[in-house]
Amino acid sequence: MKNLNENAIREAAYYIWKNAGCPSNTSLQDWNAAIQQLSSCSCNNTNKNSSKNTSSVKTSALKSASLKKSASASKKANKTTSKKSK
């Protein structure tokens, strides 16, 4: 595994948690997800690039949260439509 900057992991974990809706008791999962995302980032060779890494993780987390919200909204819309048609 690459040498990761703890501050970058902390910030990435925060954005993962924040974009998931601030659920309780997910700090370990958020931390591990941040490590996984930062490890897969190609720009994570030096601590100089930590802001780029975090930015990449923020973007990834935002996309993930957006997809989850879209899926949730679609499910709610389908439930509402099916209730109205009954």
pLDDT in tens, the chain (86 residues): 457 799 999 999 999 999 999 999 999 999 999 999 998 875 545 444 545 555 666 666 666 655 555 555 656 666 655 555 55
pLDDT of 1:
45
For 53-72, give one letter per residue: b (16+ CB within 10 A) or e. Answer: bbbbbbebbeeebeeeeeee
Q: Within a domain: residue 43? A: yes
Q: Within a domain: residue 30? A: yes
> d(Cα 24, Cα 37) in Å, to the nearest integer?
21
Of the candidates 32, 34, 28, which has an alpha carbon nearest to the alpha carbon of residue 15? Answer: 34
Q: Within a domain: residue 66? A: yes
pLDDT of 11:
94
Of the candidates 21, 18, 11, 14, which has an alpha carbon nearest to the alpha carbon of residue 53? Answer: 11
pTM score, whole prediction:
0.50
Domain range for 70 is 6-85
Q: Within a domain: residue 1? A: no
Query: How many domains does the chain contain in total?
Result: 1
